[in-house]
């Protein structure tokens, strides 16, 4: 286990950059999407699991894709993806939709696929440290599945966590979907199963 989130981020980014990163999520995601029609996703960068082919396939199959818009305070708004060619440059080199539907739009998604550096088997997600996705995931409608996009080697037994961290339900890798969850003693049994 990593002693701190900072230590975990440094080690995981170094390992990701040194590995054969860059594999896509399309094949794995297609097996598990079901009939979901509105998917909140993101445009991958660098060594992240690639989302471009998945976004193109979702749009070609008449599904709606919500993509994030990064605000100056690091919160996220959401816009409908018109197609990769119609995205505009955003903050920190991100590609974003032109029209912002606002932060609450993520609550209309049938599925959320978010970036992560790693997840643990209890559903703890480690991001890059800006808090953008923790704020956004807090707005997801109850019962909506949240998947973190990682590589197989980034599913760990345990990660450091803070009280504000938002849990994820599964890890989507280029090869599989792995269900995650809190220990049974920590579970809210009144919460709906996804």
The CA dihedral of 103, 191, 54, 76, to the nearest 10 degrees, is: 20
Residue 177 clears pLDDT 50, i.e. is over it: yes
Q: What percent of the chain has pLDDT over 70?
A: 88
Residue with the larger pLDDT of the pair 83 and 72: 72
129 labelled ligand-binding = yes
pLDDT at 8 over 90: no
Provide the Cα torsion 51, 111, 119, 154; round to 10°: -30
Question: 3: which DSSP letter?
Answer: S
Q: Any known ligand binding at 43?
A: yes
Confirm or deny that 31 is annotated as ligand binding: no
- % of the chain surpassing 90 pLDDT: 62
Lowest mean pLDDT segment, chosen from 40-49, 77-86, 128-137: 77-86
* 34 is known to lie in a ligand binding site: no
Asked if residues 67 and 94 have their Cβ atoms less than 8 Å apart, the reply is no
Instruction: Enumerate domains of the chain plus CATH numbers.
Output: 5-176 (3.40.50.10420)
- Asked if the model's pLDDT at residue 137 lies above 60, the reply is yes
Residue 127 is labelled as binding a ligand: yes
Residue 65 assigned as binding residue: no
90 is in an annotated binding site: no
């Amino acid at each position: 286990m990593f002693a701190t989130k900072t230590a975990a981020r440094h080690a995981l980014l170094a390992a990701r950059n040194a590995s054969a990163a860059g594999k896509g999520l399309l094949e794995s995601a297609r097996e598990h999407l079901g009939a979901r029609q509105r998917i909140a996703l993101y445009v991958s960068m660098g060594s992240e699991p690639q989302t471009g082919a998945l976004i193109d396939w979702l749009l070609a199959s008449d599904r709606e894709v919500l993509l994030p818009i990064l605000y100056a305070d690091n919160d996220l708004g959401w816009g409908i993806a018109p197609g990769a060619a119609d995205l505009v440059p955003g903050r920190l080199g991100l590609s974003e939709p032109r029209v912002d539907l606002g932060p609450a739009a993520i609550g209309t998604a049938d599925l959320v696929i978010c970036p992560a550096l790693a997840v643990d088997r209890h559903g703890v997600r480690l991001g890059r440290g800006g808090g953008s996705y923790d704020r956004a995931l807090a707005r997801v409608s109850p019962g909506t599945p949240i998947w973190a996009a990682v590589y197989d080697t980034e599913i760990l037994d345990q990660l450091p966590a803070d009280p504000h961290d938002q849990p994820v339900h599964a890890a989507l890798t280029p090869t599989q979907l792995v269900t995650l969850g809190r220990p049974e003693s920590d579970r809210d049994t009144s919460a709906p199963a996804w």
